[in-house]
Structure 1
Amino acid sequence: MAAAIIRKDADSDEVRQFLIGLARGTAGALLFALPMLMTMEMWFLGLYVNSWRLLLLCILNLPLLFLLARRIGFENIHSRTQALRDAITAYGLGIAVSAAVLLLFGIFYDQLTTSNLIAKIALQSVPASIGALLGRSQLGEHSDTEDEEDGEYSGETGYLHELFMMMVGALFLSLNVAPTEEMILIAYKVTPYHILALCLVSIAIMHGFVYALHFKGSHQVHEGQEWWQSFLRFTLPGYVIAIAISIYTLWTFERLDHTSLSQIMNAAVILGVPASIGAASARLIL
């Protein structure tokens, strides 16, 4: 009898923690995705975005959520099954929050077809689902010490894990600005000197965020280690990741169609500014 009561209490506590995680996930989806949910270009993209490119983005988002859930799921993650469940839950929250907000804003009242409605929600659900998982990291009451005790978190993480977090940060922040018309306008106005300056500034900001400014969660250069070693090992690969994510995001939103290679690189470097900041800050946030 006592064992049954203890087991029942444990199950109810697990359900309670999961429900709290869902609430935090909903809050995180709103907090991180609301700027995009209120962006006109994101609404219009649903009318003409290439369906295959959108499908690819949605498919790639699921393994990204799975890997992210392994680090910051709705509860302590002890198995791949739990991580997959949290990834699917986050995606579901992203879809639900996106549909609800767009409905409240009256975006669905413009005589849209079913395919247009699905495309609008699918576009918004990607950043919203990432925000749902980030909600636990930012809105939870756990501390770094508690996470270390649970085996979830350690200040020093593996190299591939660091690169993955950079990719998540770059993707999330680039999604905020990639669909906007300002990207095209800036690409039209800049000169090669601006592009070179933007590259150097982006790289300098990335290295400063992670190593030089001593933010909470930032890395410290180990004693006896030269600054250029961390620069070559993390900063430059991080910038390459930011540029690659920028190109992919622009391609998904059809910003690179019928453009020359120089125009593509200009747009990638411009979008690479927020993407590189997102990549660098991912280590601080996550």
Structure 2
Amino acid sequence: MRSHTRRTPSHSARKAWKQEISNLIRGASGGFLFGIPLLYTMEVWWIGSFAEPSQMLVSLLTNFVVVFLLIRTEGFRTTVNAKLLDALMDSVKTLAIGAVCTALVLVLLREITLTTSINEAVGKIVFESAPFSLGVAVANSVLSGDRNQGTNGQNHSSSQSTKAEINATLADIGATLIGSLFIAFTIAPTEEVPMLVSAMTPPWLLATIAASLLISYGIVFVSGLTNQAKRYQHEGLFQQPMSETVIAYLVSLMAAALMLWFFHQLSPEDPWTVWLSHAIVLGLPATIGGAAGRIVV
């Protein structure tokens, strides 16, 4: 009788899948860093809404050529000098990552709903995903770091002073604020934030909070971008990954509210619910910027 043995994935196969997932997360993180500001631009929404299929095709082909050239140099993978066929496949995958991430954010922002026509939805995704795809393509060459970097760093004694921890925490808060301002400052004075808030119900605001936290955690602790290894060794009062992500989000949320107040989008007379909803919507790009700030500290 033939014996049936249960095959388990080999170590090399598991390692390959783990590396592939890491590549995808790193690419998506690069896409968010490059593409999130354009997702808050109503002019691009309108262009996508009224674009003809021929215009979408030209835009898609142009984006593909640029992405292909970037990947031939050094794409979102950790390998370089990709072969022609591999570069073509990675270019298609890059466009797919950009399109999926763009579609998810547009759904989250209620710019694509069940009532949106197919032509309008595809147009918005095609035009909005262009910078997203570029961010995916250059994620490795511009942003990636060595995961093993700093793993053999200096050992710190248990008697390290609280002052050093406070300084490290203040450095993180400062980096989060700078990154938040860098990404969200040009979005705050526009009419896009009130427009998006008007279409959001409390469940969608909660979903935006969850997405902000998830993307921030992925950029800093999962994607393998610059200085990621140092984050696990960084000192401070809130330096566990989950607590750091939450604290950084609250800092970004406060920065978003202050930016909206600075540009007279909010006033002290507005109820707290208005402040909160506006801050949550602007908090998504602010949180992504804050994550970018922390990985370069």
TM-score bucket of the superposed structures, by smaller chain: 0.3 to 0.5
Q: TM-score, structure 1 length as denominator?
A: 0.44
Higher helix fraction (1 or 2): 1
Q: TM-score, structure 2 length as denominator?
A: 0.43
